[in-house]
Amino acid sequence: MKIIAINGSPRGMEGNTGRLLEEVIAGAREAGAEIEVVNLAQEKIRPCLACDNCHRTGTCLLKDSFEEVKEKLLACDGFILASPNYIFSVTAQMKAFMDRCCGMIHCMSLEGKYAALVESSGSGEDEEVLDAMERFVNMLGALSVGGVGSPAAGARTFPDEENLFARARELGRELCASVREKKGSPEQQAFLHAFRERMQRLVSYMGEEWPYERAQWGKK
Ligand SMILES: Cc1cc2nc3c(=O)[nH]c(=O)nc-3n(C[C@H](O)[C@H](O)[C@H](O)COP(=O)(O)O)c2cc1C
């Protein structure tokens, strides 16, 4: 089972988010997953230009690392998204990546895949950032198995660390169990159902303007 961990922290695996992500990865490895980490700060992923080329052709005009990361996501069984809280949201690195996924969102290209979420903050609003990442996962067509987030207590340390790390490892194991057992989530599936209708309507409305996305929905 192949799991891709996408980390949006500018500090990569050396930061607080990376420390918590290590525990989720350890849980997933225990459950038999092969993990690949993509540190967005080490990749070149420029902000979306809104040129609509992805909608027309399925690929991005910007020649940087995005298409490579996209291919890894399309090929994986599950993925992990990790970001620190930057002003109640994800980092600029993670947001640039999310925006570049707009074409995948229109096609709900990650249907059938599962994701886990990781967040760290200076002092809170962890759920707000986890919720933003969960909504993104659902817009891609994937199901979230949950998230783990916490304020840090210093460099790479957290309050009540034993309990937090136990939850993080359990999340990693749960990600693998969900992939294996193809678990459902009625609440998220209701969102996916409504979002699927919305995307199909949008792509149908755009007609010949977006031939790639039209063909993708035709194949589903
Ligand atoms: C630009 C910036 C914005 C931040 N905004 C917030 C915030 O709104 N709320 C918060 O609790 N912490 C905030 N923080 C603190 C980080 O979320 C926190 O230190 C986090 O654990 C850093 O993770 P990292 O070591 O993986 O980079 C901010 C940090 C930076 C650099």
- Do the beta carbons of residue 116 and residue 174 sit within 8 Å? yes
| 52-100 pLDDT, tens digit each | 999 999 999 999 999 999 999 999 999 999 999 999 999 999 999 999 9
The whole-number average pLDDT for the span 165-186 is 97
For residue 220, is pLDDT > 90?
Answer: no
| 188-218 pLDDT, tens digit each | 999 999 999 999 999 999 989 999 999 999 9
Neighbours of 177 (CB within 10 A): 14
For the whole model, what pTM was predicted?
A: 0.97
Ligand 1: atom nearest CA of 125 is 11
**Cα–Cα distance, 218 to 220 (Å, whole number):** 6
Ligand 1: atom nearest CA of 123 is 11
The predicted pLDDT at position 153 comes to 97
Q: What's the 93 CA to ligand 1 centre distance in angstroms?
A: 13
- Spell out the domain ranges in the chain: 2-219
- Do the beta carbons of residue 111 and residue 142 sit within 8 Å? yes
The predicted pLDDT at position 122 comes to 97
As a whole number, the mean pLDDT across the chain is 97
Token pair 């700060």 in the structure block, residue:
41
Q: Write down the CATH superfamily of domain 2-219.
A: Flavodoxin domain (3.40.50.360)
The alpha-helical segments, DSSP class H, found in 51-124 are: 53-57, 66-75, 92-100, 102-107
Angle (deg, nearest 10), helices 161-181 and 16-30: 50
Q: What is the DSSP string of 15-51?
A: SHHHHHHHHHHHHHHHTT-EEEEEEGGGS--PPP---
| 26-49 pLDDT, tens digit each | 999 999 999 999 999 999 999 999
| 10-20 pLDDT, tens digit each | 999 999 999 99
The whole-number average pLDDT for the span 134-147 is 98
Cα 132 from chain centroid (whole Å)? 10
Pocket test for ligand 1, best of 13, 21, 37, 87 (most atoms within 8 A of CB): 87
Which are the contacts of 67, defined by CB distance < 8 A and separation ≥ 6? 59, 60
Q: What's the 85 CA to ligand 1 centre distance in angstroms?
A: 5
Long-range contacts of 206-210 (CB under 8 A, 24+ apart): 206/55, 209/52, 209/55, 209/56, 210/52, 210/55, 210/56, 210/106
The whole-number average pLDDT for the span 109-126 is 97
Pocket lined around ligand 1, Cβ cut-off 6 Å: 9-11, 15-18, 84-88, 120-125, 152
Q: What is the DSSP string of 163-198?
A: HHHHHHHHHHHHHHHHHHHT---HHHHHHHHHHHHH
